[in-house]
Structures are given as C-alpha cells and as structure tokens.
Structure 1
Amino acid sequence: MTGRQARRALGDRVLRAVGPLLRSVPRDHRETDAAFRRRRRVTGVVAVAGASLLGVSLSTKPGSPRFYGLTLGVAGTWVAGGLASGPLHLGRMFGPGGQLRRPVLTPVASGVGAFGAFYAAALVARRIPLMERAIGSVLRYADQGSTPLVATTALANGVAEEVFFRGALYAAAGARRPVLVSTAVYGLATTATRNPALVLASVPMGLLFGIQRRITGGIQAPVLTHVVWSSLMLRYLPPLFADRLAVEERASSAV
C-alpha cells in the first residue's frame, strides 16, 4: 500500500468513526403550544433564581455548612425547574450500522477530551496573574473543603445544570438557535459568580453540551460529559495551582 492509499484509508476510517457524531437524531417528541409557553415561563423564573443562589454560594466561606447548603440548593433549583418545565428526554445517537442507542462511550470520551483541553489552557492561565487568582478563587472550595462533600456538590450541580440548561431551557428556546440561546443564558447565569475563569469556561463547555443535546435529542450525553469533565478537573487542577491555593488558605485563615 502506498503512502497516499494509507492516508486515504485512514481518512475513510476517521469519517466512519466521526460520521455518526455529525448526524442529528430525528426528534420523536413534540409538545403543544400551551406546554411550550408554560415551559418558557418556568425556565425564565428558575434561571433568575438559580443564578442568584449561585452567586451567593460562591461568596461564602469554603468548607462552611452554609456553602454546602447553598450549593446543594442551587442544584435543587436547577433540577426542580427542569422537571417542572415539562418532559425531559435522555436522547439517543447513531452507532455502528446506523443503529440508535443511548450515548455512553462518546460522551465519556468527550469529557476526557474537554479536560485535556482545559488542562492545557490552565498551564498557560497560571502564568497570567488575573486568571491565576480567578482560578484559585474557585479551586479553594475544593482545596479547603471536605473531599466527599465537595465531590458530591460539584457532581450534583453538574447533573442539575444539564437537566435545566440543556433540558428545560434548550427546549424552551424552540427552533431559534437553541444551542446559542442555551449557551448564552448559561454564560449569563455564571456571571453571577463574578469570576472571569468560570464565565470563560461556560462558553466552550456550554457550546459542547448544547451540540451534544442537538445531536442526541436529550440530556444523557451532556450529563455524562459534564460529570466526567468535572471529576477530572476536581482531581487534577488543584495540584497545578498549589502555590496560589496556599496564598488563598493563608488569606482565609487571617480573616
């Protein structure tokens, strides 16, 4: 086999592997105009309430009962709003042979890939004082808190955000660019934290989650990707900012 034939064969295999990811699954669920209007009203109220709680939760002391209570309250708000807005769907994606199946392996791989991209970006960000402080301000909640509680609240919020933003809010956007609308509202909600690192992260991740929602027609893919990404970020990012976290801990102890 010549080099040209080998490259063509490799290209064909890549296209066969990636092809199913580029095909949107046909929608098999519709709702009445009244249900759609109700979904929009509910998501509007919950978006404001959840964003407000999110901002308050990240202004509390790391590791405090108030922090954990508020953080779980944020997750509860997103989930309650998502379920109250109307039916949600897990979604499906095309597998080998064009068969439809629940998305599992691809979302997990997407979560790992997203973490890799963010880890590479963090290597650069830690050399930028503004970004180093912003990331350290967030990671101190993981560094100074109880590991099981931090993991529980972080993963609960990851699932809850997808239930609301890629479930209820995405559906409420209708046919008018739901990926962009859900990402924009996700980013606006994150601005309540007043943390530039979180706001910047919400845009590419919101787009990724939104595209997964569009392709699969449901929330299972973005939920799995979000959980995997969050787990890896919690595990491997704090050691990268150890010096900054030491400064944060000294500042917290002095208060």
Structure 2
Amino acid sequence: MTERNRSDSPGREPVRRGPVAEVRAFFDAALLQPTERNYDETPAQRLRRLIVVAATVVLGTIALGLALAIPPGDPRFYLASLGVAGVWIVGALVSGPLHLGRGRTRAGTTSRGVLQGFILGAMLLAVFLAGAFVIARIPLLRTPVEQLLDHVRHGSLGLVALVTVVGGIAEELFFRGAVFAAFSRRFNLVGSTVSYAASTLFSGVPLLTFAAACLGLLTAAQRRVTGGVAGPITSHLTWSLGMLLLLGPVLDLGG
C-alpha cells in the first residue's frame, strides 16, 4: 500500500495543523464559509418583513433613546429597557420565520455555532477592554461611557444584568433575524449592521454607536454563515455581559 493510500484509510489519525492554520480554519468556519440552506421567501413575505422591520426600527430607536435618558437609579429604567426589548421581540416575531441556524466547524462537521459565538464574543470583548484602557485617559470619551455605567453603579447589578440578557437576545432576534432576512443577499450583512448602529443614534453616546457597529458586523457575519441567530446571540451575550462586569474596573485601572 502506498503512502497516499495509507493516509486515505478510514482509521487514519486526523491531520495535525499548526497554531496559525488552526486559527485560520476557525475563522473560515465561523465567519467565512456559509452552510447550505434554503430560506427563500415569496415576494409577499419579503414585503411584509420589510414593512414590519421599518416600523419596528423607528419605534425601537425612539424607545431606546427615551430609556437611556432616564436618570441612573430610577426604577423606570429597567421597565423602559425591557419595553425596548419587547419592541424588538414583537417586531422579529411578526416579521416572519426565524431560524437558529447551523454552522460549520473547523473539523468539517456542523453545529449551532454556540461555541464559536462564545469565542468570537470573548475576542471582541478583549479588544474593547483594551480600547477602554486607552479611553480612560481621554475625558471627552470617558465621560459619556461613565454616564452609561451610572445605571449599574446607582442601581441593581442583578437587574441590569437581566435587562442586558433580555435586551441582547431581543436585539439579535430582530437585527440578525428579521432585519438581516429583509435585505437581499447582496446587502444583508451591511444593511443589518447599519440599521443596528443607527438604532443607537438617539442615545447621545458616539462610542455606543461605534460598539453597535462592531458587534453588529461580527454577528451579521455569523448570521450569514450559519443562517440563524443562535451563534450571534451567544456572541452578543458574551460581549455585553463581559462589558457590564469588566468595563468599570478597566476604566478605573486606566484612569
């Protein structure tokens, strides 16, 4: 038997890759190689989704701006934030079918993309925390971030964490579920990312809009690969809960 035939035998050991090749294989599987699926919609379904999405974006953007305008420590903030999440969830469900999706692993099998989502969310978190260490030394940028953190400092961390989880799931259901599906394949990644970033404009915090653009681009790439929201939800929650718990200490350390 030749060397080539032995390497093709069913009982062969898996090919071992170096660290660089492993990282490349991970990103290819998690962000670049879409799985096969058929989620085609009729023109009537697409039109309905577009109408619902447009109306929901307007309502949700206004609601988010009003929620963030509530003074820190005011109990109304929690109810208002859950109300914003409710707008996203209703819009997502009314717009049409949603899918959990399936991603391709670096080994060639398929999964929901949850582990990939966790790893990608943690990577994005690390980048933002490193950036926060720099921002801590720039008062013009640090002040609006501190104002957002006041909702944690003057309120209940448990309630804020709950709102963060519910809001993160709601945003992914709507923006990576409904909004992504409302755009054509040519524009769905950019369109859903821009829509998500635009929804934060009334917050008055430019860095929040920047964060939404970065997170939106990452999760939209996952949505394009997996065809669903399971991976994006995991990335979003990993990043947002990490920022909730670690951003304040990092700012204090950097300052």
Mark yes or no: TM-score above 0.5.
yes
User: 1:95 offset after TM fit, Å?
Assistant: 2.2
In structure 2, distance between residues paired with 1:102 and 1:36: 25
The letter for the 1-side match of 2:229 is I
In structure 2, distance between residues paired with 1:83 and 1:9: 44
Match of 2:58 among 48, 51, 61: 48
The answer as to 2:213 corresponding to 1:208 is no
In structure 1, distance between residues paired with 2:213 and 2:253: 27
Match of 1:58 among 40, 64, 68: 68
What 5-or-longer segments of structure 1 have no aligned partner? 1-7, 246-255
In structure 2, distance between residues paired with 1:214 and 1:135: 31
Match of 2:44 among 30, 34, 58: 34
Deviations 1:87-112 (A, max 9, x none): 00011111254222211111111111
Contact persistence 2:63–2:84 (CA under 8 A): yes
In structure 2, distance between residues paired with 1:196 and 1:61: 19
User: 1:244 offset after TM fit, Å?
Assistant: 11
In structure 2, distance between residues paired with 1:212 and 1:243: 33
The letter for the 2-side match of 1:88 is L
User: 1:175 offset after TM fit, Å?
Assistant: 2.1
User: 1:61 offset after TM fit, Å?
Assistant: 1.5
Deviations 1:99-132 (A, max 9, x none): 2221111111111111100000001111111110
In structure 2, distance between residues paired with 1:92 and 1:237: 32
Q: 1:202 to 1:96 in 2, by over 3 A?
A: closer
Q: How does 1:1-255 map to 2 (within 5 A)?
A: 9-21=18-30, 22-95=32-105, 97-242=107-252
Where is the helix percentage greater, Structure 1 or Structure 2?
1
What 5-or-longer segments of structure 2 have no aligned partner? 1-16
Counterpart secondary structure, 1:72 = helix
Contact persistence 2:133–2:251 (CA under 8 A): no
Q: 1:108 to 1:11 in 2, by over 3 A?
A: closer
The letter for the 1-side match of 2:28 is G
User: 1:243 offset after TM fit, Å?
Assistant: 9.4
Counterpart secondary structure, 2:162 = helix
User: 1:166 offset after TM fit, Å?
Assistant: 0.6
Deviations 1:213-247 (A, max 9, x none): 111111111100001111111111112334999xx
Deviations 1:6-64 (A, max 9, x none): xx844444444443232111222221110110000000000000000000000001121
In structure 2, distance between residues paired with 1:26 and 1:213: 13
The letter for the 2-side match of 1:89 is H
User: 1:212 offset after TM fit, Å?
Assistant: 0.7
Task: Give the superposed CA RMSD.
Answer: 1.9
Find the counterpart in structure 2 of residue 5 from structure 1: none
Compute the TM-score of the two structures, normalised by the length of structure 2: 0.88
Number of equivalences = 238
Contact persistence 1:209–1:222 (CA under 8 A): yes
Find the counterpart in structure 1 of residue 9 from structure 2: none
Q: 1:17 to 1:193 in 2, by over 3 A?
A: closer
